[in-house]
Amino acid sequence: MKLLSMEEGEKAVKLARKAIETYLSSGKVIEDRFDGIFAEKRGVFTTLNKHGMLRGCIGFPYPIKRLDEAIIESAIAAAVEDPRFPPVRQEEMKEIEVEVTILTPPDKIETDPVKRPEHVEIGRHGLIVKKGYRSGLLLPQVAVEYGFDAEEFLTQTCLKAGLPPDSWLLKDCEVYRFEGQIFKEEEPGGRVVEVDIRSCSI
């Protein structure tokens, strides 16, 4: 998958912020569209952080929309539709850092369930777990931030899906891995930087 340049990453984060601020102030969804990589279908998540704490995170795991469209929709959803948090208020945006994670298409881990941890690289892979009508996703940076090893990462993804923690050991449980490229603001509305997932630092 072609990676985004620093310039494109900066444009992605600024687009996400513009989408949120416009929606919160006017209720309108911006229709900005760009050429190049932004016209390609990509999976993407927008994450909002306030004073170092998660304030919202929603996205599209699969490449079903143009990248620019997916950024706009995920950004607005992260601000007002994440069921874990009350909707973001317009005045809050001066305290919130915007982060955009561009995803590779999910790749199913085809192996004996007990060997799945061997195919998960911490600092590189994010995970999706599916069983029946339940599914859960954790971004690559989550495992690094919380110090998970591969087995714990699988366990936590199962819990995110509302499944028993050891469901990843079952044959009828599907596990997918993906990679992500992260761009975020250093401070609310500030300089955009690319994040080294392996250390979760700039």
Listed by start position, the domains of the chain span 6-104, 107-178
What token pair was written down for 37? 């990589």
User: pLDDT averaged over consecutive 10-residue blocks of the chain (202 residues)?
Assistant: 86 97 96 95 94 93 93 97 95 96 91 95 93 92 91 96 95 94 94 78 40
- Angstrom distance (rounded) from CA 200 to CA 189: 20
| Identical fold between 6-104 and 107-178 | no
pLDDT at 197: 72
Run of H or E including 96: strand 96-103
- With respect to CATH, is domain 107-178 assigned 3.30.1490.150? yes
pTM of structure: 0.84
What class, spelled out in words, does domain 6-104 have in CATH? alpha beta
pLDDT at 199: 53
- Angstrom distance (rounded) from CA 159 to CA 166: 9
| Side chain identity, residue 42 | R
